[in-house]
Structure 1
């Protein structure tokens, strides 16, 4: 199914990377649900350029009832079920390694908060969206990970652990849903220049990362968003259960 034939739900799309992903799909002609939890005005601004092909919708992805209601409302609005889900929502987090708790001090509550949004949110979305996808024999689920699996250079213990669990869910869901025509893949970025979450990162860190990549620059949210389009496109129809790292070549294993 072409992107311009699809209905795409992007979670956490009111700002940052999610906003860039939603805008990329809108630019390609998809009908887009711009999900947000608190950023109502920002989400409305993301959807506005695309007129009646986009809608901003509030829902907490950790609430299965809210997720189901959001998908139902989107189907009524666009006259067809959601075909692609991009799970980008992130529990409140600021990417500044100097301010993060080290392993001796971090609490389980920090891990649980990240797991709730990354993993429970993904499960709620998969369970709510996959029946309609299976009924038509087509669906695309994309999760957002991190290159810190391979390159844990900062003490983001809770964030990285939750994203690692999300990668496991991505792969097991791919095996389960593949026979129904549904692919499930992950894209993992590094530090992006710049989102609300990465705005707290010192400039020297951006410079160091830029010099460590083959491209000699830090990936932007818009560049990352373009890669997300691949997993929703017809060209990825034989790809599932994969983790594509989009970080300018910083991590290569």
Structure 2
């Protein structure tokens, strides 16, 4: 299937590892130009951009910090100036915050901590979308993928604020679909289940992983590439009328 992504410009936030890295590779494999954004791993982002064709102006590494609105604006500006616009944005960057100590509850979380989590995981994602939308509307074509989490649906101990931010993306996509659809812009949410990223494999004890497998119809955890392929399809010309949807990539969990 031809995804019609050859020559399109794609901005992938949080692209230096995990799902973001796999997504950047998936788009590059389809002939797209890819902006690889990063917060702290400049070397990793530069290496990935080199792999994806930086020497031929097919990829570039761009700083992007959810905690800094000016950095978000600068990232979009760099891509638009160099490549003439952003056709696809994949909002994958995330800040999970620190784990709560045992015995602490939601009411023990300082307001400045939970407000920062909401700001970084929700407000700056919405701001990024705001920045790219005018160009998409002008070109009458655009694709937006918001990367959520199974926690928005299932919940998890100590993840109330993170879950709230991710769940808000679902409502945002449903309403934005109405506003942007007439201009040829489709917006969807991809909600990964527990995914075999390096971070998950390092932090999740083997017995917990085995338990999760027994609760998953396919008997395997999704790989970053599984999620990336779903994102690439939803953000392609092959998808011409799916918008406002939430796609779970969780092995049927």
Contact 1:91–1:113 (Cα < 8 Å) also in 2? no
- Is residue 156 from structure 1 mapped to residue 159 from structure 2 by the alignment? yes
RMSD: 2.2
- The 1:100/1:107 distance shift into structure 2, 3 A limit, reads farther
- Is residue 183 from structure 1 mapped to residue 186 from structure 2 by the alignment? yes
Q: Deviations over 1:172-191 (max 9, x none)?
A: 22222112111111000111
Contact 1:7–1:32 (Cα < 8 Å) also in 2? yes
Count of residue correspondences: 248
Aligned counterparts, 1:73-88, within 5 A: 73-78=78-83, 80-88=84-92
CA distance in 1, matches of 2:220, 2:63: 34
- The 1:167/1:107 distance shift into structure 2, 3 A limit, reads farther
Unmatched tracts of structure 1, length 5 or more: none
Residue of structure 2 equivalent to 1:230: 233
CA distance in 2, matches of 1:84, 1:217: 30
Residue of structure 1 equivalent to 2:199: 196
CA distance in 2, matches of 1:40, 1:116: 23
Bigger drift between 174-183 and 7-16 goes to 174-183
Residue of structure 1 equivalent to 2:63: 58
- The 1:125/1:101 distance shift into structure 2, 3 A limit, reads farther
Bigger drift between 197-206 and 141-150 goes to 197-206
Residue of structure 2 equivalent to 1:69: 74
- The 1:199/1:109 distance shift into structure 2, 3 A limit, reads farther
Give 1:145 deviation, angstroms: 0.7
Q: Deviations over 1:203-231 (max 9, x none)?
A: 22211111111110111111111110111
Unmatched tracts of structure 2, length 5 or more: none
Give 1:22 deviation, angstroms: 0.9
Residue of structure 2 equivalent to 1:114: 117
Contact 1:21–1:228 (Cα < 8 Å) also in 2? yes
CA distance in 1, matches of 2:33, 2:111: 39
Give 1:97 deviation, angstroms: 9.0
